[in-house]
Amino acid sequence: MAGCDDACVVHPRVAASRARMLDEGTARDLAAIFQALGDPTRARIISCLLHDELCTCDLAELTGITESAVSQHLRILRALRLVKSRRAGKQVFHSLDDAHVALILHVGLNHVREGDAAHPAMERLLTQATELEVSR
């Protein structure tokens, strides 16, 4: 590699980082989640579901798109296990799949709104994330 004075491939930091690096499948799955959340409409749908279970028509009204378009976005979010759905008669209600999804959204929002890792809310969220990872 240009710019390296020593053989990086045997450097202890590189070896340690390589051992912790995501495998290809995990990296691909993680990238798919961020890609899905990278769409502003899907990000808005997720934010709507942060506090309430909502039906497809509620989400269409809130986002200003058709129910059909909402359904297409929800299909992608369900496939990634970000959203779950339940049928009640003719209506389908949607909610976040689990607390991890809410945590991802909260961390992202803190980053966008605050941009300060020293912010007390960020410290609390990072502590929660660490506790979640340890419990796995």
* DSSP states of 22-59: PPHHHHHHHHHHHHHHTSHHHHHHHHHHTT--EEHHHH
For residues 77 and 96, is the Cβ–Cβ distance under 8 A?
no
pLDDT for position 48: 96
CA atoms within 13 A on the CB side of 85: 18
pLDDT for position 3: 60
pLDDT for position 118: 63
11: confidence class by pLDDT, cuts 50, 70, 90: confident
DSSP E strand stretches across the chain: 54-55, 83-88, 91-96
Give residue limits of the domains in the chain.
21-96, 98-136
What's the average model confidence in pLDDT over 79-83? 97
Those residues whose C-beta lies under 8 Å from the C-beta of residue 54, and which sit 6 or more positions away, are 48, 62, 93, 94, 95
pLDDT for position 125: 67
Alpha-carbon gap, residue 36 to 73, rounded angstroms = 9
* For the chain, percent of residues with pLDDT exceeding 90: 64
Neighbours of 19 (CB within 10 A): 7
**Nearest 5°: phi and psi at 18?**
-60, -40
pLDDT for position 103: 92
pLDDT in tens, 41-71: 999 999 999 999 999 999 999 999 999 999 9
Position with higher pLDDT, 135 vs 97: 97
Residue indicated by tokens 């020593």: 6
Q: Residue 7 is which amino acid?
A: A
Residues linked to residue 78 through DSSP beta bridges, in sequence order = none
Whether the pTM exceeds 0.85: the reply is no
Fold of domain 21-96 = Arc Repressor Mutant, subunit A (1.10.10)
Question: Which of 8-22, 28-42, 58-72, 92-106 has the weakest average pLDDT?
Answer: 8-22
pLDDT for position 127: 74
